[in-house]
Structure 1
Amino acid sequence: MGEQAFSFLPLSVSARPPRLVVVVPHDEDWVRWMALGLTRVSQVWGGSGSVVVPAAAVGHAGVERALAQFGPDHVVAYNPSWASVDRLFPGLVDRLITGQQVEDEAAREAATQMLRDTAWSHAIVAQAEEAAEDLRSRLAVNRREDLVQLTHLFDACSPSDLTELGAVARVPLYGVPRGLVTTTEALSCAMVIGVQEQLGTAEVDASVWQAATVHQAEPEAVAEVRLAAGSDALAVRSHEAALCIPVQRGIPNRDTLLVFGDKPEDYALSEALRQTYSRVFWVPWSEPSRNEGWLYTRSYTQDRILATSASLTLDEVRERSDASWRLRIPSVDPDRDVEPEVVASAEVDFSCRQMVVLRDAWEQPCSLPVLVGEEGSLDAALSLPGEVPAGLDPDRHRWQVTLTAKNHPVPPLHTLTNSAVIAADQNPWETFVRPADGGITYWSHRFDFVSAGASLAGRLAAPRLSWPAIGKVLQHAAAAQNTAIRPSAAGKRAAIAERLLGSRTELEQLASSPGWPVLRAFTSKKADWELPPGSAWKLKSGLVLSWDAVAAYKQKDWDEHARRAELDRWASQGVVRRGLVLGCCHCPIYEFYPLAEITQAYSCRRCGGENSLVQGRWKSPLPEPSWYYELHPAVRELVENDGDVPLLATQFLRTQHWARPALVCEEFEVLRSGTPFVEIDFALATLDQVWLGEAKSGDVLASSPREQKREACKLIEGCVALGAGGLVLATSKPGWSDATVQVLQHEVQGRRVASRVTPRIVLLAGLGTKPHLTVLKA
């Protein structure tokens, strides 16, 4: 095991309520069941940042993709009590008690109360539990093998699991009366405001709910409930009621998203997307409404309007959105009207993530001592002390702590389990730890038994965490898919060069510096300038250059003094070696001898003959020999094989907002059954996902269309094998060839038709001159 260096890691600390995906049981009348589930979630602290989905929607590709992007802490099944179900089916409890023929009034009341407090057992509850377990497994969230803490949401929270909203809120709360939520139109409004178990039986016209949904307002019946609660009352599903705010990471998405369709999966898609998109409107009514016209005014959107559905085909969505568009309210400037774009539910773009955090305890800076492993992983040198955010009570409240490292992101891959982010000697039973939000999140309290009267430090979790290097991230991802990775020959050369220079960043800077053509002159490729006579010797070990060769290189803003200093720096780093070119008096050969090997007497490398350092041994006619420089063999091969292209690519990518910060990995091979099937030139781990990259000096992936298709398939399959959400194709040419782009588009279209996982593909061109990114449109 290599030595570990000690350092300090700057962190951003946030406290927040746990994020839940609550799977609700239902029958044919699924809307009333969803109202019941929303009623319960509206009572839980964190309900504003949680997602409630019907069991039938679990497994839908678009819904599951949105839930994966949402990144829940827990996936739970809602198990209502008999009392709750009795509200849906009045008289259910009385009929059951009557059937037991209990004559004593006191015994009857006791039996009734006991039954009302008991969890309801039914086939649809079992189906919801099974759906939650399946989703839990696919999202790799609170699985049993990961020491799951929470699997069910009941009508009363256990103090050791979740916190009731009423224990945190400081003002009166209001919601849509559950009895009013009987239609999809009512549900579309209720999911924004939240639902409370209040009296409310008055009929509300569908058009009123539609207007409330479009205008993000509340109908008169709900306004009356709010006024009755008090002038300072807040909606139960508002972030403010939970003392929270939503924090968006990255450039905020200013698109408006319209979800058409009245099926359970349409509701679930809208509910999930609300947590990642700032403006989502569920439009469950089938006939276009005049209220929809306001969706297209400039006050509601700044960029695009996207139309999608989980139950309708693209043609049906297009027909429905066109009908809605015709009812728009025209703006003063018609050119500013935004026509909707139709997109499949499984292809909705996620360019920004959202995290609901405690308003007074987010992105607080701190520093943690860590041990830096040889491969780049960071292990906490001590346990994190328990801290209680202002406004919370460790005896009554449960919260999540999220730590984000300034320059060491942890991509939220479902293949990264708790074992990847805890130190080797940390007890995994102490707390629930997992990657989330580009960092690490953990449960505020211990999971195992805590004796009565324990101190606050003893009750709060104090984990020792680990921020894995990108190599470990990729290894975990590969192992989950029964594949493996290993460094390629080019990757090993790049790793050596990184060690010489100190970091990948330094190597990238070298590739983009004026000195790279000088390094290229050491290779078999022709120098970019004319070398003076006698300044370069071609030896069996490679080409060596003298200072005269370097001095002859003319480059603007890189004068002779700067070149001299750079050459000396390379020599001190080991990138080049300074020495002499000497011959042998026993055999006719000249070799390069590094400075460290030169003495008055030296042995010939070829025949072993002894030689004396005299004028006859050096080829130059000068009275004293000139210093020559030999490029490090690994660096020479890196330069000769256009190693600057992937370096320039990662350097440029790290200037993009979505890749700051990023961990970078050099070239590696992906193996199946021990056999390499694709080489990846570089990988980036960002706050949001993993990107893989292919870098070429030309504008094609291969020489023939068949080979191009084969290379494209391998790269995409490599992304799938490692869970990478994006693929970058980089070239130093001004652009990729039309043939290459067509091959990529055809492959992406075919995979989408076959419902196969497809990474997002971006094309990077103009490296070294005018780099630019474009998204592949298919």
Structure 2
Amino acid sequence: MSDQPLTFLPLSYAARPPRLAVVAPQDDDWVRWAAAGLARLSKVWGCSGSVVLPAGTAEHPAVLQCLARLQPDHVVAHHPSWDTADQVAPGLVRAAVAEHDLPHDAYREQFEEAVRKSRWNAPVVMEAEAAASTLRARIAANQQNEPVHVHALFDAEDDPSLTPLASVTTDPLIGVPQPLVTTPAALAYAMHVGVEERPYEGVVETRQWLEAAARGEESPLLNELHPTAEVPVHPVMSHRAGLCIPVRRGHQQAQATVVFGDRPEDFALAQVLRQLHDYVAWLPSGDTSLASFWLFNRSIRGAELKATSASLAPEEIQARIDGIWGQPGSPVTESAAEGRPYSVVDPLDLEFQGRSMVVLHTAWDQPRSLPASVTPDGSVETALALAGEVPPGLDARKHRWQVTLICADHPIPPLPELTTSALITPDQSPWQTFVRAADGGITYWSHRFDFVASGASLAGTLAAPKLAWPGIRKILQQATEAAGTQFRPSAAGKRAAITERLLGSRKALEALAASPGWQVLRLYLPDTSRRDLPVHSWWKLKSAVVLSWEAITAHEQDGWDAAARRAQVDEWTTQGVLRRGLVLGCVRCPIFEFYPLAEISQQYRCRRCGGDNSLVQDRWKPFGEPRWFYDLHPAVLELVANDGDVPLLATQYLRSQAWARPCLVGEEFELLRDGNPFVEIDFALATCGELWVGEAKKTGSLADSPRSRKREAAKLIEGCIAVRADGLILATAQSAWAEVTVDALREEIRGCRSAGRAVPRIRLLTGLRSRPKLAWL
């Protein structure tokens, strides 16, 4: 590492509780099992940023898509005790005790107490553990081969790797009494505020539950259920209960969503969306008149309401949301019916803007700066381990937290393929702690996984891994290797990389493509017309075209005066983009060639025939005193000749979008299967939350014939999936993509969906050389 360039990595530090995805047992009475899972989760610090999923919903496509955005730290199964199972299905414990035919009441009471505290190993629990294991592998969270041992939540005891909520909170907490959560309507509200295990006598009407579900924590229902609660008091699922706050970044507008349907997958979808969108209500069924104001009032505040469902058809969703709109009490008058502030959306088409994170309110966005080294592939490795520290309000002896580090200049997309080995330095043991990509950066567990000797210092008890921030090439390599595909830079990508090194950065190369200087560089192309340039100010030689200063100043460009050109040419010659020299001939052969300044002396040797020459008047062009000419670097010339400005203009424009700030940009590459290339990708864009790949064209068509267009569309979508990209961007210099190309893309998408294959999101970028515009396909 000593030979690598040193830099300082500016970081934003945050401490937060772990995010959990708890997989609950599921049978016909799934509501009670979900309530039991919420009751157990409500006891864990970080429950306000976590979710409960019935076991049968863990493979639902919409739920999986949302979980990929949530990025839970741990996927755990809820392992109920016999006591919990007896609450769901009364009589289980009594039947189990009766089977042993104990002779004395005292023995029976002791045995029953022991049974209630033991694990309930029923088939439905085993199914939940299997679903958790499958989901764990799908989203790469706390896998068995990773150094984490949090795999289940047991009712009767606390997991030492997790922190009980009671050890962190400072105020009394309340939730919905578990005996009341027997219907989807009650569960719809309980998911907002949490569940507590205490008896309750009373009845709450369905319409009251639904109003409370629409209002969330704003509902007075919880206070009505706890009339004698002390003040101040917080719902167990509130962020305040865990001394936390939600942090949302990159959101362009508020997002409000209502989920319809009374199936387990609807509950699961609403649970995860609640962590991702600003406002979410789950309305399973029943009279929703009391909920209408709270739903549409969100739209009045600027958030367009999206109606969706994981179980209902679009027509059913439309009918339900229209029915609520038509009820008395709607905050918008009927005269505005044509502009109703809601729309029906397929759950797979829901948008997720920015990223969300629940953090400890005393330790977030704290600045850090670490000395680091830059590797040849653009990765950044920390030069020293982070110092162990305990955030205010926590105790290292009894609390466990996540450390999240975000670099404003070096985002990391949350790809499951970015495993521990990609995020730590080569000399670091992967078994020291659990490290993964999340929240746009790197997150890891506060405490060591391995043995720590008694009496160790605070720094010794806290994990302090040496971290690596992978560059875009490393990210692409990790993603493609996991899919059995090979990644390598293409010829065009290598040329762009050479030019990037000459200029100093990708941003400088993009700025060159957008500057007036790019048109001057086009004068070096063999077929470019130079009729307007002064005589003898340029020469088309055997090897290349060369320009003099007179030719460069004669080429008119708006807003680029002589002083700016002089400074630009001097900068280019310093960088090596241009080479200053003379056009000289040979006394033995008639060929004139360009000779760089570094090769010129009074005596020189002809490049063609090897003859010796003296630097005299007969040898140079034009006649008179010699004139400096400028030769363009061959890699830059090829980049210009192949319309390399189109992908450069595309990535420059994408950098300006809010969702792509910050981002890592990679040049053109190709993917190989069994050693054979099958697709070329013009650029890659890695943001804090996503990975995008793109194709850039000067024209507005992928190909000339229908068969070729279909083949190109299929290859691009296949390549997008192979690198685990979230989406594909098609960029063109034209004002619009040809309709035949758009039709080919849509046809390919329909074919993929009908075959049950994954389909990336697609965006169309047009007008790159004039007025860029980005739109969804």
Range into which the TM-score falls when normalised by the shorter chain: over 0.9
Q: Tell me which amino acid in the other structure corresponds to 2:443.
A: T
Structure 1 distance, partners of 2:448, 2:560, is 59
Structure 1 distance, partners of 2:490, 2:50, is 43
SS across alignment from 2:84: helix
In structure 2, the residue matched to 1:362 is 364
In structure 2, the residue matched to 1:609 is 611
Q: Is the aligned partner of 1:769 residue 2:765?
A: no
CA contact (8 A) 1:524 1:640 kept: no
Which portions of structure 1, spanning 4 or more consecutive aligned residues, are displaced by more than 6 angstroms? Answer: 218-221
In structure 1, the residue matched to 2:251 is 251
CA contact (8 A) 1:159 1:396 kept: no
**Structure 2 residue aligned with 1:394, among 377, 396, 402?**
396
- What's the offset of the Cα at 1:616? 1.2
Q: Is the aligned partner of 1:536 residue 2:538?
A: yes
Deviation track 1:285-317 (CA, whole Å, cap 9, x = no partner) reads 066645335422456652322111111122322
Q: Tell me which amino acid in the other structure corresponds to 2:703.
A: A
In structure 1, the residue matched to 2:641 is 640
In structure 1, the residue matched to 2:71 is 71
In structure 2, the residue matched to 1:558 is 560
In structure 2, the residue matched to 1:683 is 684
CA contact (8 A) 1:288 1:320 kept: no
In structure 1, the residue matched to 2:715 is 714
CA contact (8 A) 1:2 1:374 kept: no
In structure 1, the residue matched to 2:236 is 236
CA contact (8 A) 1:250 1:353 kept: yes
Structure 2 distance, partners of 1:195, 1:628, is 79
Deviation track 1:433-483 (CA, whole Å, cap 9, x = no partner) reads 100011000000001122222221111001100000000000000011110
Q: Is the aligned partner of 1:747 residue 2:753?
A: no
Structure 2 distance, partners of 1:298, 1:143, is 39
Q: How is 1:402-551 mapped onto 2 (pairs within 5 angstroms)?
A: 402-527=404-529, 530-551=532-553
Structure 2 distance, partners of 1:641, 1:710, is 22
Query: CA 1:167/1:675 → structure 2, altered by over 3 Å: closer, same or farther?
Result: same
Structure 2 distance, partners of 1:612, 1:181, is 98
Q: Tell me which amino acid in the other structure corresponds to 1:563.
A: R
Q: Tell me which amino acid in the other structure corresponds to 1:561.
A: A
In structure 1, the residue matched to 2:278 is 278
Deviation track 1:33-59 (CA, whole Å, cap 9, x = no partner) reads 111110000111001100101001111
> Which deviates the most, 128-137 or 346-355?
346-355
Structure 2 distance, partners of 1:40, 1:74, is 15
CA contact (8 A) 2:510 2:649 kept: yes
User: Percent same amino acid at aligned positions?
Assistant: 54
SS across alignment from 2:453: coil
SS across alignment from 1:416: coil
> Which deviates the most, 538-547 or 176-185?
538-547
Deviation track 1:492-543 (CA, whole Å, cap 9, x = no partner) reads 0000001111111111111111111111101124257711111111112111
> Which deviates the most, 240-249 or 77-86?
77-86
In structure 2, the residue matched to 1:732 is 733
Structure 1 distance, partners of 2:388, 2:724, is 34
Q: Tell me which amino acid in the other structure corresponds to 2:679.
A: V
In structure 1, the residue matched to 2:216 is 216
In structure 2, the residue matched to 1:51 is 51
SS across alignment from 2:589: coil
- What's the offset of the Cα at 1:606? 1.0
> Which deviates the most, 535-544 or 211-220?
211-220
SS across alignment from 1:76: strand
**Structure 1 residue aligned with 2:597, among 590, 595, 598?**
595
> Which deviates the most, 290-299 or 274-283?
290-299
Query: CA 1:244/1:252 → structure 2, altered by over 3 Å: closer, same or farther?
Result: farther
> Which deviates the most, 44-53 or 157-166?
157-166
SS across alignment from 1:216: helix
CA contact (8 A) 1:276 1:352 kept: no
Query: CA 1:753/1:320 → structure 2, altered by over 3 Å: closer, same or farther?
Result: farther
Structure 1 distance, partners of 2:219, 2:775, is 44
Structure 1 distance, partners of 2:228, 2:754, is 53
> Which deviates the most, 443-452 or 308-317?
308-317
- What's the offset of the Cα at 1:662? 0.5
In structure 1, the residue matched to 2:318 is 318
In structure 1, the residue matched to 2:664 is 663
Structure 2 distance, partners of 1:422, 1:749, is 41
In structure 2, the residue matched to 1:696 is 697
SS across alignment from 1:464: coil
Structure 1 distance, partners of 2:531, 2:513, is 18
Question: In angstroms, what is the RMSD of aligned CA positions?
Answer: 1.9
Structure 1: unaligned runs, 5 residues or longer: none
SS across alignment from 1:208: helix
- What's the offset of the Cα at 1:109? 4.0
Query: CA 1:400/1:669 → structure 2, altered by over 3 Å: closer, same or farther?
Result: same
Deviation track 1:238-266 (CA, whole Å, cap 9, x = no partner) reads 00101011111212542321111111111
- What's the offset of the Cα at 1:742? 2.4
Q: Normalization by structure 1: what TM-score? A: 0.96
Structure 2 distance, partners of 1:229, 1:529, is 89
In structure 1, the residue matched to 2:133 is 133
In structure 2, the residue matched to 1:116 is 116
> Which deviates the most, 108-117 or 707-716?
108-117
Query: CA 1:316/1:466 → structure 2, altered by over 3 Å: closer, same or farther?
Result: same
Query: CA 1:294/1:454 → structure 2, altered by over 3 Å: closer, same or farther?
Result: closer
SS across alignment from 1:691: strand
Deviation track 1:325-359 (CA, whole Å, cap 9, x = no partner) reads 32261525844853432222222111232111111
**Structure 1 residue aligned with 2:573, among 571, 574, 593?**
571
CA contact (8 A) 1:255 1:301 kept: no
CA contact (8 A) 1:19 1:46 kept: yes
- What's the offset of the Cα at 1:559? 1.2
SS across alignment from 1:40: helix
Structure 2: unaligned runs, 5 residues or longer: none
Structure 1 distance, partners of 2:433, 2:220, is 46
CA contact (8 A) 1:519 1:636 kept: yes
Query: CA 1:333/1:325 → structure 2, altered by over 3 Å: closer, same or farther?
Result: closer
Structure 2 distance, partners of 1:614, 1:509, is 41
> Which deviates the most, 695-704 or 525-534?
525-534
SS across alignment from 1:701: coil
CA contact (8 A) 1:293 1:325 kept: no
Structure 2 distance, partners of 1:577, 1:687, is 40
CA contact (8 A) 2:669 2:683 kept: yes
In structure 1, the residue matched to 2:201 is 201
CA contact (8 A) 1:226 1:233 kept: no
- What's the offset of the Cα at 1:728? 1.1
Query: CA 1:221/1:700 → structure 2, altered by over 3 Å: closer, same or farther?
Result: closer
Structure 2 distance, partners of 1:157, 1:29, is 25
- What's the offset of the Cα at 1:219? 7.2
Structure 2 distance, partners of 1:676, 1:268, is 41
Q: Normalization by structure 2: what TM-score? A: 0.97
> Which deviates the most, 6-15 or 610-619?
610-619
Query: CA 1:114/1:525 → structure 2, altered by over 3 Å: closer, same or farther?
Result: farther
> Which deviates the most, 65-74 or 523-532?
523-532
SS across alignment from 2:426: coil
Structure 1 distance, partners of 2:529, 2:45, is 67
SS across alignment from 2:268: helix
Query: CA 1:396/1:225 → structure 2, altered by over 3 Å: closer, same or farther?
Result: farther
